[in-house]
Structure 1
Amino acid sequence: MTNRATSNNGSAAARQGTLAALKGLLPFLRPYGRQFAFAGIALVVAAAATLAIPYAFKQMIDLGFGASAGIKSIQHVNQTFLALFAVAAVLAIATAARFYTVSWLGERVTADIRSSVYRHVVNQSPEFFETTQTGEVLSRLTTDTTLIQTVVGTSISLALRNTLLFVGGLAMLFVTSPTLSAIIIGLLVLVVVPIVLFGRRVRTLSRDSQDRIADASALAGEILNAMPTVQAFTHEHLEANRFKSSVEGAFRTALRRIRARALLTLIAIVLVFGAIVFVLWLGAHAVLTGSMTGGDLGQFILYASIVAGAIGALSEVMGEAQRAAGAAERLLELLAVSSDIQDPVHPKALPPRGSIGAAVALRDVSFSYPSRPETAALAHLSLSVRPGETVAVVGPSGAGKSTLFQLLLRFYDPQAGAITLDGVDIRDLDLHTLRSAIGIVPQDTIIFSADAMENIRYGRADATDAEVIAVAKMAAAHEFIERLPQGYKSFLGERGVRLSGGQRQRIAIARALLKNPPLLLLDEATSALDAESERLVQSALEAAMVGRTTLIIAHRLATVQRADRIIVMEDGRIVETGTHASLVALGGVYANLAALQFHNVHVAH
């Protein structure tokens, strides 16, 4: 993926071994030691029951069908089959217990990983989201965690089970025939080396496959969130083809992985069973010469089958582990990303505040966005806002107005200078404390997939219905909400598609008013409103500004004329300060902006 925030970490992680990558999951496994222990006991019992079966067959062949066949042989056969049934019952109970426990572990650990990764991601600074696609994160939360679920809930159990069967079966092979066992071990060593070497290739392809799937998810998420624009420009066919190309790329990468895994399986089965067939051929000759009994050969064949089956299963598990290792790397990369914006180790408290709002000050602040460090968004900016003061910030696009708000919310830290709230450097405040003191109405209103009541209540989660309705009335939102099919319980659609731009903005204003903060930030808060709605909201905002400090960003100068002070910004600096009348008289940047706007208004009329 282009511009991945985690690409540097990923290149290092990709060089780790499969076990090293999966080892990073241990913190998620440790809390469930008791369940793992229970699964382990069930696993050992099931493996022991499986390994007891060939011995029972040896007894049946040698004692039941041997040279001394008679009444006793019938008794031996009966006893052997009763013992086999008892072993099967133990095997069934132990296998069922193991399946339930490891499946529970798979689901539980996957849920924990998803929650942990999501909690970590939502605490990242905006810098992370500047360079990371949302679809990529979603892919890691879904596809990658599903692969890990397969490993924890199935593959680990199968790996341990087949390892026990392999070791136990191998031990019993040596008990049955040391000579044949030594030969088969020598052959297996020659077989395993190419399998392991080829397995590394499968692991690399597995990670590539997951990356391509993530790219396709990122592309789909971006386009689905911009469907009105796509359809307005009639790019449906173009975007469908782009997604098809991305999916086909993912398919081709997956096909290479599948081919490699199929070839790995083919090599493993042919080489392993070829070695076993050769050794069994030697065993058959040993029976014919009388150096082995038929029961011994039967027991050897069954144990050899168990060993071969265990190796085959382990090769399958290895393929799953390769894929899970890639998934684990990608998830651990996300968890390893550290936000530059951190809570202080020893946060300070805000001093007691009266009922007139917060004091804000910026001292010689300079800032450049991480994605464009060579361009100064703010340069040596100093500003003091008194408690209860309303300050309007105006200027051309790119002047640094919205950047000022992002720094006040501490979405970023300036490279130089300091910002204080009520005399306390905001870097010394807990992020929750800082942001709880600030309400914002952004230019791009976010509406969640919920009803109108819950969308406004997002401003303060513990607000009552009556409080929500009260702020909706203040924001001139009550009337249009009441006209919705279910009123305040009406679902507003994903991203608020059922509302007009002005209605979405009034929901955002109500949300900010419900928070009731001492510092209110209005970023083009009335830009999407018609004249009547703007008049209603403007009067509501003026009432809401009483008793709090307010900073207003507006391109429409008519909305800021009654501000206590107007700050004019250009190229990240404050170039003019004053009231509307004094700035117009000054004949500078503000006067030019005012002349353009009011001239256009007169022309329109």
Structure 2
Amino acid sequence: MVMVSLFAGVGTFLLIPLISLSGLTEATVKLSLLTPLTEALREHPPAASLGIVLSAYTVVMLGQFALQRTVTIRNVRLMNRFGEDVRLETYRGIMNAEWPFFLRKKKTDLTNALSAELARVIHGTFLVLQVAASSVFMFIQIGLAFWLAPGVTGFVLACGTILAVFSSRYIKKAKALGGQSSSLAQAYLSEITDQLNGMKEIKSNNLIASRWDGYQKLVKKMTTESMGYIQIKSGSDFLYKAASTLFISAFLYVSATMFHAKLDQLLIVVIIFARLWPIFTGLQASLQQLASALPAFVSVTELQEECRRASERLDANAGKIALTYGVECRDVSFRYAGDNGARALEEVNLFIPANGMTAVVGRSGAGKSTLIDVLMGLIRPQRGQVLIDGRQLDQADIQALRNSISYVPQDPYLFSGTMRENFMLAQPNATEADLWEALEFASAAPFVRKLPEGLDTQIGDRGIRLSGGERQRLVLARAILRKPSILIMDEATSALDSENETNIQSALEALKGTMTVIVIAHRFSTIRSADQVVVLDEGRIVQCGSFVQLAEETGGLFQVLLGNQRKLAM
């Protein structure tokens, strides 16, 4: 950037002999440095001297433009490198955060941070480079201009300082609008994500009008915010242009009428003003844009810091746990942050034997999902211990535990792409035979074979092109493909017809002795073959035993829940 500024300064100096040689006016502006050059040029014919000066000016300016191109490419390369680093760092921080972090944050806020906010941060980085380059350019140009014409340069600096004082309010307003832009971007992304995810409910319940009203109000707010920024930017642009016109006109008028300045002197004034004034205005405009992007930088920085505080310290090279004895909870208690009521889990004591099937039942809100999250290492108990094969589970074992678990949620999740791609994400080394074996286990092979493209069928966002039962079977097949030590199913057969449910129950029974199966069940017909049934109520274990044993316990919660299901089935 220094070389670019020097080339630009030399170009300005060459205009002085150019004016002198033009013959348009008598040269009254003299510089000792340029005297030998002008004297040497006068020994040549005017046309030759003019050609020499113009050639030198052309070479200098082309050199400046070439250097400027190099600087621009370098700055963009630095910006892209920084953008890549900050994107990866933010994403890695989010992925390494503990599960409670995701319970506190809205998904759309994280999506907005990874997209719109990071884009503003990266653009802000470009603006920082631009401001730095402009500052270097400005100081060098000011130094050369002072040497050339200190009076004129001082006048331009005074005008620029006055404008900077008056325009500081524009920077403050731009920063405030930048904060509003971040909030509106989060709200907008949240609104469209909710509406697109709930489109079936919106259309089937005829909620289009109400959702349209909410969306329309949000879009109008965004339009108002955008117009506010344009008004600030156009207002500052008008101020700079109007001020420059008034200043230069007044200065030229006073110089010509009161001090009888010569034409070449006035031309030098115009040249210096034309060189320095755009630097001031460009720097001020960059500062406004930088102030607008500052809230995004603060937001991303706070998110990164929050992720660091919530980071899990996992061993990337951890293997798998071959469960041989079982999983045990000793006096485990847990309460979610901000929940001042009863604990989600209260002094839970439970032993889950290896290679058997354990069912967990209870009313809604009893703590079933929280217990599963504790067993998977997603949340750590605030009191008590979790033991794997008699050894306390600590942070260093979490990765190995998760490598050994396959989890099938109640709401089955499939990634956008093909069925094959979903399976290969779970087990990159799986063979074609492995895929079809897992599909057979989950009773998914028949419907997959009927598809024209088979495993290479595109399933759409979250598997939207498939029925609920088909999604559940594919997710179960993906879980089995990992060949886990522990299979956890959260009502994973709720969307299946009776035939497929029976097939899967038979397959699960066949796993006994080879895999530990933990099932959260709402339909008790799916857990009759369980080795033990655990009944939770208000975060406590109130019953534990075989299905038959609990069904016969008079007055027990399990018997009540079982009776309610039998009534509903009638």
Q: How high is the TM-score relative to the length of structure 2?
A: 0.90
Matching residue's letter, 2:558: Y
The 1:250/1:175 distance shift into structure 2, 3 A limit, reads same
Give the equivalent residue in structure 1 for 2:227.
Answer: 255
Matching residue's letter, 2:378: F
In 1, Cα distance between the equivalents of 2:512 and 2:396? 24
Give the equivalent residue in structure 1 for 2:106.
Answer: 133
The 1:440/1:305 distance shift into structure 2, 3 A limit, reads same
Identify which of 176, 183, 190 aligns with 2:162: 190
Give the equivalent residue in structure 2 for 1:529.
Answer: 496
Give the equivalent residue in structure 2 for 1:99.
Answer: 72
Q: Deviations over 1:108-161 (max 9, x none)?
A: 3323322322222222333333333322222222222333343444x3454344
136-145 vs 441-450, greater mean Cα deviation: 136-145
- Say whether 1:311 aligns with 2:280: yes
- Say whether 1:482 aligns with 2:449: yes
129-138 vs 302-311, greater mean Cα deviation: 129-138
In 2, Cα distance between the equivalents of 1:281 and 1:174? 22
The 1:345/1:223 distance shift into structure 2, 3 A limit, reads closer
- Say whether 1:87 aligns with 2:56: no
- Say whether 1:266 aligns with 2:233: no
Q: Is the 8 A contact 1:513 1:544 kept in 2?
A: no
| Aligned-pair CA distance for 1:285 | 5.0
- Say whether 1:231 aligns with 2:200: no
Identify which of 299, 305, 310 aligns with 2:268: 299
Matching residue's letter, 1:337: E
Q: Is the 8 A contact 1:455 1:507 kept in 2?
A: no
In 2, Cα distance between the equivalents of 1:283 and 1:424? 91
- Say whether 1:44 aligns with 2:2: yes
In 1, Cα distance between the equivalents of 2:361 and 2:110? 36
Identify which of 193, 197, 200 aligns with 1:221: 193
Matching residue's letter, 1:60: L
Give the equivalent residue in structure 2 for 1:13.
Answer: none
Identify which of 161, 180, 183 aligns with 1:208: 180
In 1, Cα distance between the equivalents of 2:116 and 2:313? 35
Matching residue's letter, 2:565: Q
Secondary structure, counterpart of 2:12 in structure 1 = helix
- Say whether 1:120 aligns with 2:120: no
Secondary structure, counterpart of 1:312 in structure 2 = helix
| Aligned-pair CA distance for 1:247 | 1.4
Matching residue's letter, 1:224: L
Matching residue's letter, 2:279: A
Matching residue's letter, 1:316: A
Matching residue's letter, 1:495: R
In 2, Cα distance between the equivalents of 1:286 and 1:162? 35
Give the equivalent residue in structure 2 for 1:61.
Answer: 19
Give the equivalent residue in structure 2 for 1:590.
Answer: 558
| Aligned-pair CA distance for 1:286 | 7.7
Q: Is the 8 A contact 2:362 2:537 kept in 1?
A: yes
| Aligned-pair CA distance for 1:463 | 1.9
Q: Which residues in structure 2 correspond to 1:408-447 (within 5 Å)?
A: 408-447=375-414
Identify which of 455, 477, 482 aligns with 1:510: 477
Identify which of 336, 350, 362 aligns with 2:305: 336
In 1, Cα distance between the equivalents of 2:543 and 2:129? 71
| Aligned-pair CA distance for 1:427 | 2.8
- Say whether 1:558 aligns with 2:558: no
| Aligned-pair CA distance for 1:524 | 0.8
- Say whether 1:383 aligns with 2:329: no
- Pairwise CA RMSD: 2.6
Matching residue's letter, 1:423: G
Q: Is the 8 A contact 1:195 1:268 kept in 2?
A: no
In 2, Cα distance between the equivalents of 1:137 and 1:336? 14
| Aligned-pair CA distance for 1:489 | 0.4
551-560 vs 457-466, greater mean Cα deviation: 457-466
Identify which of 409, 413, 416 aligns with 1:449: 416
| Aligned-pair CA distance for 1:575 | 0.7
Q: Is the 8 A contact 2:99 2:379 kept in 1?
A: yes
Matching residue's letter, 1:249: K
| Aligned-pair CA distance for 1:253 | 2.1
Q: Is the 8 A contact 2:156 2:273 kept in 1?
A: no
Q: Is the 8 A contact 2:324 2:389 kept in 1?
A: no
| Aligned-pair CA distance for 1:190 | 2.4
Q: How high is the TM-score relative to the length of structure 1?
A: 0.85
| Aligned-pair CA distance for 1:287 | 7.0
Secondary structure, counterpart of 2:307 in structure 1 = coil
Q: Deviations over 1:507-558 (max 9, x none)?
A: 1111111111212212112211101000111112222343222211111112
In 2, Cα distance between the equivalents of 1:402 and 1:345? 23
Q: Is the 8 A contact 2:367 2:539 kept in 1?
A: yes
Identify which of 535, 543, 546 aligns with 1:579: 546
Q: Is the 8 A contact 2:353 2:516 kept in 1?
A: yes
Percent of paired sites with the same residue = 24
Matching residue's letter, 1:530: D
The 1:342/1:119 distance shift into structure 2, 3 A limit, reads closer
303-312 vs 452-461, greater mean Cα deviation: 452-461
| Aligned-pair CA distance for 1:485 | 2.2
Structure 2 alignment gaps of length 5 or more = 28-41
Secondary structure, counterpart of 1:522 in structure 2 = strand
- Say whether 1:400 aligns with 2:372: no
| Aligned-pair CA distance for 1:342 | 4.4
Secondary structure, counterpart of 1:481 in structure 2 = helix
Identify which of 136, 142, 148 aligns with 2:115: 142
The 1:190/1:317 distance shift into structure 2, 3 A limit, reads same
Matching residue's letter, 1:303: I
Q: Is the 8 A contact 2:334 2:382 kept in 1?
A: yes
| Aligned-pair CA distance for 1:449 | 0.6
In 1, Cα distance between the equivalents of 2:550 and 2:241? 85
